[in-house]
Structure 1
């Protein structure tokens, strides 16, 4: 297999270079925005880099291009189609993009916002609002209003209709168990709720032991379930609790079997809330793929972790813009229960606009 990278001023230019050399059977592996290096390139537009691969059999003979494309990974084919579609849209946008907004697009991209998303948000402002006589301060304020609208208002835990079951889902390594413990501690210490803990994350011994440690410190009962239907017994034993917090198995979002088990588990109860825990340090392509695996969940709320480790907050806007999830909490460290807070959209906007 041959793997190459192509760089262009925009996605369409990079794709044209790719197609010219590798042909239409090439597979898109990754696409990202890169900054031009060097002091004198500081004010230049970011470039788009597309990484692609093609199997050797497509390089040997033009006759081989009629080979069965089902041999190519299905997910990579979908990704290629998506990138090509976006490239066409971006190319069209570039022809009409307001040059007065470029400085704001550069600012958003430098703070982690996807180039295409930044372009879409700003171009929509340009279409709707006459910016001709606006000052820079007025334009920036308008942009901030629009970004905040895309992020949406924070929606923390709703306890108006307790008893309730709270599920925490997401990949391994994002701080899911610690986040559950932080919320449990706040509910016990500050609000004096009766809490029960359930863990279905029996794939990792460390996860069970971690939650067991938290349960002992907080003096909360913990039940361990190994199959989805075992939750019925655990819930019966917790029938006196106001809130039951459930730690689901954290493994790769590509594990379809695990996702289905999680789905079955959540469908066993009615009055519930589901929180998808994501690390803000995860790259957007991976983060987007994770969110899509949980699109079967109604009213999905997102908790972003590791804000203390993040260079930028762009992925928060990227996720909210693309997937229309509901923002809930931020975590910024390991301390329980202190390092968690209700998400503040104004704080995100300030970071994205370089005001922090």
Structure 2
């Protein structure tokens, strides 16, 4: 048996050295983080100590001719060594996470690993090669010295007990599974090649759509790890894998529209995003498809002709309208609309990058269980501005978000970034000025098609 100790930067480095020097049947006994170098305890570098072992040629022949008594399990075949530079950072991180999670189990499985830091065993390891008998004696002696209050004689039965620990098939299986998983993570570039071309194309497409780099890496990495077939990933398979990741991301982030239990719907958002037109579309949908009686309240007294625009829509839809300027006005208007099933309140478009304007608007809104607050944002706005506005509004309570002007931009990635950072439900999209036609109910399939460019092909 050969036992070797490696000091490496990453687990893929260790895997490569172990396979090169000990062969594909080598077994990793333990992994441990350590620090080396430095001056007076400072500027030390983090490294990983890996202890691996393999059977010698003689012992391998003996194992073929008699019942299996080897101290270590057979290992699964490992892929060819992977150059560290070709392995994406996400996979190296995943391999390190798995190593950390399994560290305690490895220490429990192998007694020599538990005492590897002791001087006696370290001296054995530094010689690079030891016999099984010497290794077993050293392990038992060190364990005996560490026991407090008791002096135990190292007998033949103790050796047999220690050896029996190696025969725990369940724990051996866990080691094999961990090693196989680490090999899979380290070799996800299929040995020599990098990320498949089909996934690289989708990665570029998502980046061009304005999806954040963190979200793109998450989707692409998970899609690549889901690839279980042998051979290259074609375009169809790549799209299917990434589509699954996007659908998983959207789970729980898509709203069902205006709730049947809601009576007041507040529409808020910065100037120029199309709030008034969006209200007309939502009202028409509720009137014609759900047969609800609708009323309009507007507080947009800042923009020229804003009230007249909503009055025009109210006249076309045969909807009553009230103009308010204070919280008292809002309360009285709601009382006048007791006969209405649903009330839409239009708010003034202001520079809501300024939190003072947000606080002023909030004073007009009377939120309760029968109300919903929608934030309306334009997809033609900068992603950074959208996040700032959402952050200001979220302090006063938001429920759902509507994105407008989908037809005026080629990118829809910012809305994915926004619902990733804020607990908002994406409910509607608008893609034109026509009332009530240009209103889309957000669905996972619709959003995936928009993001991957399938609806415009």
TM-score (structure 1 length as normaliser)? 0.67
Aligned partner of residue 273 in structure 1, secondary structure = strand
1:109 matched to 2:207? The reply is: yes
Q: Which residue of 1 is the match for residue 355 of structure 2?
A: 256
Q: Which residue of 2 is the match for residue 329 of structure 1?
A: 428
Distance change >3 Å, CA 93–CA 265, structure 1 → 2:
farther
CA distance in 1, matches of 2:419, 2:367: 28
Distance change >3 Å, CA 141–CA 167, structure 1 → 2:
same
Kindly indicate whether the alpha-carbon contact (under 8 Å) linking 1:111 and 1:351 is maintained by their aligned counterparts in 2: no
Kindly indicate whether the alpha-carbon contact (under 8 Å) linking 1:185 and 1:337 is maintained by their aligned counterparts in 2: yes
Q: Which residue of 1 is the match for residue 385 of structure 2?
A: 286
Distance change >3 Å, CA 247–CA 146, structure 1 → 2:
same
Distance change >3 Å, CA 103–CA 132, structure 1 → 2:
farther
Aligned partner of residue 116 in structure 1, secondary structure = helix
Kindly indicate whether the alpha-carbon contact (under 8 Å) linking 2:226 and 2:241 is maintained by their aligned counterparts in 1: no
Kindly indicate whether the alpha-carbon contact (under 8 Å) linking 1:150 and 1:317 is maintained by their aligned counterparts in 2: no
CA distance in 2, matches of 1:305, 1:224: 25
Structure 1 gaps, min length 5? 1-90
Aligned partner of residue 375 in structure 2, secondary structure = strand
Which of 246, 250, 254 is equivalent to 1:147? 246
Q: Which residue of 2 is the match for residue 172 of structure 1?
A: 271
Aligned partner of residue 266 in structure 1, secondary structure = coil
Deviations 1:31-86 (A, max 9, x none): xxxxxxxxxxxxxxxxxxxxxxxxxxxxxxxxxxxxxxxxxxxxxxxxxxxxxxxx
CA distance in 1, matches of 2:349, 2:92: 44
Higher RCO (C-alpha under 8 Å, 6+ residues apart): 1
CA distance in 2, matches of 1:92, 1:203: 52
Q: Which residue of 1 is the match for residue 283 of structure 2?
A: 184
Stretch moving more, 294-303 or 175-184: 294-303
User: What's the offset of the Cα at 1:226?
Assistant: 0.6
Stretch moving more, 328-337 or 107-116: 107-116
Distance change >3 Å, CA 258–CA 181, structure 1 → 2:
same
Aligned partner of residue 336 in structure 1, secondary structure = coil
User: What's the offset of the Cα at 1:245?
Assistant: 0.4
Q: Which residue of 2 is the match for residue 317 of structure 1?
A: 416
Distance change >3 Å, CA 268–CA 312, structure 1 → 2:
closer
Distance change >3 Å, CA 294–CA 92, structure 1 → 2:
farther
Deviations 1:71-120 (A, max 9, x none): xxxxxxxxxxxxxxxxxxxx965976964243332121122322333123
Aligned residues: 264
Output the aligned Cα RMSD. Answer: 2.6
Q: Which residue of 2 is the match for residue 228 of structure 1?
A: 327
CA distance in 2, matches of 1:124, 1:244: 44
Structure 2 gaps, min length 5? 1-87, 94-187
Q: Which residue of 1 is the match for residue 260 of structure 2?
A: 160
Q: Which residue of 1 is the match for residue 130 of structure 2?
A: none
User: What's the offset of the Cα at 1:267?
Assistant: 3.5
CA distance in 2, matches of 1:290, 1:187: 28
User: What's the offset of the Cα at 1:264?
Assistant: 2.4
Aligned partner of residue 230 in structure 1, secondary structure = helix
Kindly indicate whether the alpha-carbon contact (under 8 Å) linking 1:197 and 1:244 is maintained by their aligned counterparts in 2: yes
CA distance in 2, matches of 1:309, 1:268: 33
User: What's the offset of the Cα at 1:222?
Assistant: 0.7
Kindly indicate whether the alpha-carbon contact (under 8 Å) linking 2:254 and 2:426 is maintained by their aligned counterparts in 1: yes
Q: Which residue of 2 is the match for residue 272 of structure 1?
A: 371
User: What's the offset of the Cα at 1:299?
Assistant: 5.6
CA distance in 2, matches of 1:191, 1:216: 19
User: What's the offset of the Cα at 1:316?
Assistant: 2.2
TM-score (structure 2 length as normaliser)? 0.53
User: What's the offset of the Cα at 1:273?
Assistant: 1.0
Deviations 1:249-293 (A, max 9, x none): 111122322211222222354411111111112121111112111
Which of 197, 204, 220 is equivalent to 2:296? 197
Kindly indicate whether the alpha-carbon contact (under 8 Å) linking 1:151 and 1:321 is maintained by their aligned counterparts in 2: no
CA distance in 2, matches of 1:329, 1:338: 13
